[in-house]
């Protein structure tokens, strides 16, 4: 690869790895732990491999018992390297043939390969400048668990996978179901070799190869390179060498392997998440939620109390002075609800009835309906996460709503300007009545004691004292009736303002305890999908 292409590929991998890690972090607490752990393992492997030699290509030879894997390994290597396997302490340890010793040691340490053979140059295949490591690995169908564990680990670590099959077991479900079908995204770094073709009649070689390609196509590896070879006769060995050399010379197998790992991890994480996008929070749903919570929190009761309190206070301040004292015996609805404090900030709780089963059921239904609407369209795990977020603050809702109502300024102690005007006129009317009564009383007393009675002033034939009494009483009654009409209109206006403020307070609680947590989860799912899309983009 050119330096420019190498830099571009590295930048693309950086972007995809970062996006995959973002998706993993966003999926925590929502997606299954095993899926997230697998992604974490991919990220760890990628980080470790990229910190090691980029000048070496690691090629692993995988095969079943009797496939001739080690023989093919030797034939490709040009030496009997694998012969030393019989003298190794255990057969579960892989054997490495290395061309280009410089920088290979840390890489082999990471691979946990202790048995290393610095191979001689093979003309047209590999030398010290090639930077190639071939690994002869244990049989993947070994009866020893340790051997199988080594194979499983190496499948996830090597840059290129060479699968050595034989004519008898090339269709074995063990290799296809347990390995090849799971590596469908790794076609670019996979090579399949049908070994021991010398055991087949020449006329059967091509049909067997076609059968193998058909099976690989069902595994999702229809484009993978398939070669026929015989380690015994040497047939096809140069083609195998050529395929491996092409990969090694390009020095992009590491990047291709990591890219395939990211693609596979992204697909598996996407499968764990499921497809779909949450509908999200809609204004209409938010309004319905706030309206339902307002009813459950007894906002209508408080609004009625505001209107009734205003009308009662109006009567106390503008009613006929002779009878207004009777209103003192009527309890103030707001005071009864503990909502008539001089400062709303002094209130912690109201005296509204505690939320009972009906109110809690209404609250739960409102929250559930809101969460269902917001999570519509989201895949299962995210729908559950959104609903759980909506329910998180459910237990706090009753107290929070009560405190919000208690802290709302209801203008309960705010006086109206017309009260003073009506009050003054009422007292003047009463004084006029009293003056008229006093005048008539004086006249009556003078007549009773046979004293001279002065002429009473008259207006249109009507005695002025009588007019004063009648006029004062009429004015007082008129003011009382008019005051009630004005008080009713003003009470409705004040109740409307109170309703608006209370609804705003309830909406703020709903926003904090229900809407915002849901919005966070909806945004989280959107960010997860975007990150996963970036990670999956090859």
- Topology at the third CATH level for domain 55-250: Rossmann fold (3.40.50)
pLDDT at site 198: 93
Distances (CA, A) of 504 to 43, 252, 507, 508: 47, 61, 5, 6
Q: What is the DSSP string of 166-214?
A: -TTTTT-HHHHHHTGGGGGGGGGGEEEEE--GGGS-HHHHHHHHHHHHH
Confidence of residue 409 (pLDDT cuts 50, 70, 90): confident
- The token duo for 56 is 């070496």
Among 194-203, 348-357, 414-423, name the one with the lowest average pLDDT. 348-357
How does pLDDT run across 41-71, given as a tens digit for each residue? Answer: 999 999 999 999 989 999 999 998 888 999 9
Tokens 């809690």: give the residue.
360
List all residues 6 or more positions away from 167 whose beta carbon is below 8 Å from its beta carbon: 194, 196, 197, 199, 200, 208
The model's pLDDT over 190-238, given as tens digits with 9 standing for 90+, comes to: 999 999 999 999 999 999 999 999 999 999 999 999 999 999 999 999 9
CA atoms within 13 A on the CB side of 418: 15
End-to-end CA distance of the chain: 18
Determine the pLDDT at residue 354.
62
Which has the higher per-residue pLDDT, 254 or 337? 254
Residue 63 or 321, more confident? 63
State mean pLDDT over 364-376.
Answer: 92
Instruction: Using pLDDT thresholds of 50, 70 and 90, give the confidence band for residue 242.
Output: very high
Among 346-355, 409-418, 510-519, which is the least confidently predicted range? 346-355
What's the rounded mean pLDDT across residues 447-454? 76
pLDDT of 86 over the 50 cut: no
Report the range of poorest mean pLDDT among 24-33, 54-63, 212-221, 472-481. Answer: 472-481
CA distance 307 to 504: 18
In this predicted structure, the answer to whether residue 92 has a pLDDT above a threshold of 70 is no
- Give me the pLDDT at residue 350, please: 62
Predicted confidence at residue 491, as pLDDT, reads 80
Q: Of all helices (H) and strands (E), which one includes residue 340?
A: none
- Residue 465's CB is within 10 A of a number of other CB atoms, namely 19
Mean pLDDT, rounded, for 280-307: 88
Q: Classify residue 445 as left (phi > 0), alpha (psi -120 to 50) or beta.
A: alpha
Tokens of 27: 């999926």
192 touches 87 (CB < 8 A): no
Long-range contacts of 522-525 (CB under 8 A, 24+ apart): 522/278, 522/280, 522/281, 522/374, 522/375, 522/378, 522/386, 524/26, 524/30, 524/385, 525/277, 525/278, 525/378, 525/382, 525/385, 525/386
- 56's CB contacts (< 8 A; 6+ apart) are 100, 103, 104, 107, 131, 132, 133
Contacts of residue 109, defined as CB under 8 A and 6 or more positions apart, other chains included, come to: none
Reported for 46-53, long-range contacts at CB under 8 A and 24+ positions apart, including other chains, are 46/13, 46/17, 46/258, 46/261, 46/262, 47/17, 48/110, 49/110, 49/157, 49/254, 49/257, 49/258, 50/13, 50/254, 50/258, 52/106, 52/107, 52/110, 53/103, 53/104, 53/106, 53/107, 53/131
> What's the whole-number average pLDDT of the chain?
86
Domain ranges across the chain: 55-250, 283-536
Residue 362 banded pLDDT, cuts 50, 70, 90: confident
Q: From CA 171, how far away is CA 210, in angstroms rounded?
A: 12
Q: Tell me what the mean pLDDT of segment 445-455 comes to.
A: 78
Query: Alpha-carbon distance 267 to 388, whole Å?
Result: 26
* Residue 238 near residue 486 (C-beta atoms within 8 A): no
3-state SS, one letter per residue, for 92-125: CCCEEEEECCCCHHHHHHHHCCCEEEECCCECCC
Distance CA 51, CA 49 (A): 5
Q: How confident is the model at residue 412 (pLDDT cuts 50, 70, 90)?
A: low
Residue 450 contacts residue 443 (beta carbons within 8 Å)? no
């Amino acid at each position: 690869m050119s330096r420019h292409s190498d830099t571009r590929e590295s930048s693309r991998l950086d972007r995809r790895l970062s996006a995959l890690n973002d998706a993993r972090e966003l999926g925590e607490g929502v997606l299954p732990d095993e899926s997230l752990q697998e992604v974490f393992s991919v990220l760890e492997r990628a980080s470790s491999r990229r910190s090691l030699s980029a000048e070496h290509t690691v090629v692993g030879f995988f095969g079943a018992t009797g496939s001739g894997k080690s023989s093919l390994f030797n034939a490709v290597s040009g030496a009997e390297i694998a012969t030393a396997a019989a003298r190794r302490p255990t057969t579960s340890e892989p054997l490495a043939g290395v061309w280009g010793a410089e920088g290979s040691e840390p890489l082999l340490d990471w691979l946990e390969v202790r048995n290393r053979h610095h191979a001689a140059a093979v003309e047209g295949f590999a030398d010290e400048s090639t930077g190639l490591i071939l690994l002869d690995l244990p049989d993947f169908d070994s009866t020893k668990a340790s051997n199988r564990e080594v194979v499983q680990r190496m499948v996830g670590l090597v840059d290129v996978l060479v699968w050595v099959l034989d004519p008898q077991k090339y269709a074995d479900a063990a290799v296809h179901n347990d390995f090849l079908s799971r590596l469908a995204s790794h076609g670019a770094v996979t090579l399949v070799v049908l070994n021991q073709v010398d055991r087949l009649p020449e006329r059967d070689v091509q049909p067997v190869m076609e059968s193998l390609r058909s099976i690989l196509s069902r595994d999702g590896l229809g484009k993978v390179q398939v070669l026929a070879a015989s380690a015994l006769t040497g047939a096809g060995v140069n083609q195998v060498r050529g395929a491996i050399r092409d990969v090694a010379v390009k020095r992009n197998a590491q990047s291709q392997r990591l890219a395939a790992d990211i693609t596979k991890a992204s697909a598996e994480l996407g499968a764990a998440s499921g497809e779909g996008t949450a509908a999200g929070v809609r204004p209409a749903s938010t309004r319905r939620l706030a309206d339902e919570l307002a009813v459950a929190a007894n906002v209508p009761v408080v609004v009625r109390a505001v209107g009734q309190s205003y009308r009662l206070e109006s009567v106390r301040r503008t009613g006929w002075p002779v009878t207004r004292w009777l209103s003192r015996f009527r309890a103030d609805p707001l005071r009864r609800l503990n909502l008539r404090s001089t400062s709303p900030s002094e209130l912690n709780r109201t005296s509204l009835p505690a939320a009972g089963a009906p109110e809690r059921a209404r609250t739960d239904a409102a929250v559930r309906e809101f969460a269902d609407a917001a999570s519509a369209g989201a895949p299962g795990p995210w729908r559950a996460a959104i609903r759980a977020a909506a329910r998180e603050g459910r237990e706090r809702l009753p107290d929070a709503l009560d405190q919000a109502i208690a802290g709302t300024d209801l203008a309960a102690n705010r006086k109206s300007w017309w009260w003073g005007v009506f009050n003054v006129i009422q007292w003047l009317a009463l004084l006029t009545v009293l003056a008229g009564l006093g005048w008539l009383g004086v006249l009556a007393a003078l007549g009773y004691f046979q004293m001279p009675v002065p002429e009473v002033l008259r207006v249109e034939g009507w005695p002025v004292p009588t007019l004063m009494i009648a006029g004062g009483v009429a004015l007082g009654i008129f003011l009382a009736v008019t005051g009630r009409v004005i008080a009713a209109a003003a009470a409705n206006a004040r109740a409307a303002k109170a309703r608006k403020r209370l609804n705003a307070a309830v909406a703020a609680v709903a926003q904090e305890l229900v809407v915002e947590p849901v919005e966070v989860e909806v945004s989280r799912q959107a960010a997860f999908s975007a990150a996963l899309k970036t990670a999956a983009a090859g």
